[in-house]
Structures are given as C-alpha cells and as structure tokens.
Amino acid sequence: MSYVMRRGSFTGRKLGANINGTTCEYKNARRSINGLDKWIPIKGYADKFEPFFTLSRVS
C-alpha cells in the first residue's frame, strides 16, 4: 500500500501532493488510496501519531 499511495497507482492521486514538507492535508491524502472512506477516524489516528513522527525527524 505504501508504494501504491506514493505512486498514485490506484487513483492517480499521489500521497506527496497532500503530505509533504509544507503541507499536511489528511482528508485529501486519504483519496490516494480509497476515496474518502473513513477519513475522519483515520485523520484522528494520524493526529495522535504525528507528534511522534515529528520528534523522530532527522534534522
């Protein structure tokens, strides 16, 4: 799934268009794999995990 999201293989929408160094748009990022199905709970999970990802970023 990671490969598919990064390449936009299923939907033509690449994950990086919505989540990158300057943008973090979870609703539209969800479209890269499965439309807007369950985007609200998935955004909730991402919001909880995002601080851990930010802390682990290499400067």
In this predicted structure, what is the pLDDT of residue 59? 59
In this predicted structure, what is the pLDDT of residue 44? 94
In this predicted structure, what is the pLDDT of residue 48? 92
DSSP string, 16-55: GGTBSSS-B-HHHHHHHHHTBTTHHHHHHHHHHHHHHHHH
What is the extent of the structural domain holding 48? 2-55
Q: What pLDDT tens digit does each residue of the chain (59 aa) get? A: 889 888 989 888 899 999 888 888 989 888 888 888 899 999 999 899 888 877 776 65
In this predicted structure, what is the pLDDT of residue 33? 84
Instruction: Give how many domains the chain has, as a whole number.
Output: 1
